[in-house]
Structure 1
Amino acid sequence: MAKEVLAKENIKLNVSLKNQEEAIRYAGQILVNNGYVEPSYIDKMFEREELTSTFMGNFVAIPHGTEDAKSLVNESGLSVVTVPEGVEYGDGNTVKILIGIAGKGDEHLDILSNIAIVLSDEDNIQSILDAASEEEIIRIFEEVN
């Protein structure tokens, strides 16, 4: 049976991170620990960041691997990390929500589309930051489907 794309163990609330590197590594390590990707996928997340920032605005970053990282993805999955006090991300941007993505095949496009819908509503961003449980986060993302 395929894994859930966003499982409870993929969500970490109220995390404190020092910098962008630690933030990307943290979001990626959740995907590694839960079997979604191979450990070297995290290196591909850093490569992606060098090509173009994964900062999306509204305190959100979506770190993910490069196109050639697909062979390192075992299952499509998301990690969601809330950083209420924020972490500096790139050129003076502040990130409070990290969403790590690993997409098998072309599934990352559907996943990105769903994330974009959720995050286009600023109320949802605040709801994610205010969430007291992993279940609340899952509920916010399920409401778009």
Structure 2
Amino acid sequence: MAKDVLSKDNIKLNVPLTGKEEAIRFTGEILVNGGYVDAGYIDKMFEREEMASTYMGNFLAIPHGTEDAKKNVFETGISVVTVPEGIDFGGGNLAKIFIGIAGKGNEHLEILSNIAIVCSEEENIEKILNARSEEEILDLFSEVG
């Protein structure tokens, strides 16, 4: 049976991370530990970040691998990490929510659009940042399906 794209194990709340590199690595390691990707995928996340920032606005960053990282992906998965203090993503951009994405084939495009829908609502950003349990995050994203 296929893994859940997002499970409680993939959600880490109120993590005290200090820098952009640490945040991307932490977000990627959840995907590695969950068996969604191999360790090489994290390098591809850094490569992707060098090409263009994955900061999306609204306190949200979506670190993910480059196009050629598909060989590093075993199964589609996402990780969600909240960092209430925020991390400077350059240009005065503060990221407090990190959503790591690994997609098999083109599945990441659908996931990205679902995340964009949830995170375009400022009240949802507040809900994510104020979440006290992984279930609250699961509920928020399950509504998008």
Q: Same fold (TM over 0.5)?
A: yes
Computed over aligned residues only, the root mean square deviation of the Cα atoms, in angstroms, reads 0.7
Asked if structure 2 preserves the Cα contact closer than 8 Å seen for 1:20 and 1:88, the reply is: yes
**Equivalences, count:** 145
Corresponding position of 1:26: 26
| Cα deviation, residue 143, structure 1 | 1.1
Q: TM-score, normalised by structure 1?
A: 0.98
Q: Sequence identity of aligned pairs in percent? A: 70
What is the alpha-carbon distance in structure 2 between the residues aligned to residue 28 and residue 3 of structure 1?
17
What is the alpha-carbon distance in structure 1 between the residues aligned to residue 115 and residue 62 of structure 2?
9
What is the alpha-carbon distance in structure 1 between the residues aligned to residue 3 and residue 89 of structure 2?
30
Asked if structure 2 preserves the Cα contact closer than 8 Å seen for 1:20 and 1:90, the reply is: no
What is the alpha-carbon distance in structure 2 between the residues aligned to residue 67 and residue 138 of structure 1?
27
Asked if structure 2 preserves the Cα contact closer than 8 Å seen for 1:23 and 1:98, the reply is: yes
Matched letter for residue 40 of structure 1: G
SS across alignment from 1:98: strand
What is the alpha-carbon distance in structure 2 between the residues aligned to residue 31 and residue 49 of structure 1?
17
| Cα deviation, residue 88, structure 1 | 1.2
What is the alpha-carbon distance in structure 1 between the residues aligned to residue 4 and residue 80 of structure 2?
13
What is the alpha-carbon distance in structure 1 between the residues aligned to residue 43 and residue 130 of structure 2?
31
Alignment of 1:93-108 (within 5 A): 93-108=93-108
What is the alpha-carbon distance in structure 1 between the residues aligned to residue 22 and residue 76 of structure 2?
22
1:139 aligns with 2:139: yes
Matched letter for residue 140 of structure 1: L
Matched letter for residue 89 of structure 1: F
What is the alpha-carbon distance in structure 2 between the residues aligned to residue 39 and residue 64 of structure 1?
13
Alignment of 1:65-84 (within 5 A): 65-84=65-84
Return 5+ residue gaps in structure 2 as ranges. Answer: none
Corresponding position of 2:110: 110
Corresponding position of 2:61: 61
| Cα deviation, residue 91, structure 1 | 2.8
Corresponding position of 1:35: 35
Q: 1:13-38: per-residue Cα shift (whole Å, max 9, x none)?
A: 00011100000000000000110000
Q: TM-score, normalised by structure 2?
A: 0.98
Matched letter for residue 92 of structure 2: G
Q: Deviation above 4 Å: which 4+ runs of structure 1?
A: none
| Cα deviation, residue 89, structure 1 | 1.4
Matched letter for residue 110 of structure 1: E
